């Protein structure tokens, strides 16, 4: 899947150093143990998370961490509209 997205120009590489720098900023504000995911979303511009981790949901939808645009969480088929919204060109 990642290879296909890369070949289609839809995958985005984000340098580790940029994610690490963002992590230093978000760690104190995270309730989850996944600040690297929040930092990656901030650096990449990704605003759709597919996860069942409730603490990570809290962080990903926290406007103090991810805002403009806000983060959204896909958990089940009822959230299909989020894929259409966030992955228009996928």
Q: Per residue in 22-71, pLDDT tens? A: 999 999 999 999 999 999 999 999 999 989 999 999 999 999 999 989 99
Quick one: pLDDT at residue 1? 67
Quick one: pLDDT at residue 86? 76
- Global pTM value: 0.81
Residue 40 in domain? yes
Read off the pLDDT band of 89 (50, 70, 90): low
Quick one: pLDDT at residue 8? 83
Q: State the helix-helix crossing angle for 35-44 and 16-26, rounded to 10 degrees.
A: 120
Quick one: pLDDT at residue 66? 96
Residue 1 in domain? no
Q: Which domain holds residue 74?
A: 15-86
Quick one: pLDDT at residue 7? 85
Q: How many distinct structural domains can be found in the chain? A: 1
Q: What is the pLDDT of residues 13-27, one digit of tens each?
A: 899 999 999 999 999
Residue 58 in domain? yes
Residues paired with residue 73 on neighbouring β-strands, in sequence order: 49
Residue 27 in domain? yes
């Amino acid at each position: 899947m990642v290879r296909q997205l890369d070949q289609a120009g839809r995958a985005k590489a984000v340098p580790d150093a940029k994610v690490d720098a963002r992590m230093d900023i978000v760690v104190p504000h995270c309730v989850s143990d996944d600040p690297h995911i929040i930092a990656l979303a901030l650096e990449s511009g990704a605003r759709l998370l597919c996860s069942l981790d409730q603490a990570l949901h809290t962080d990903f939808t926290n406007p103090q961490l991810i805002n403009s645009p806000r983060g959204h969480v896909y958990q089940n088929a009822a959230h299909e509209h989020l894929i259409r919204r966030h992955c228009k060109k996928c």
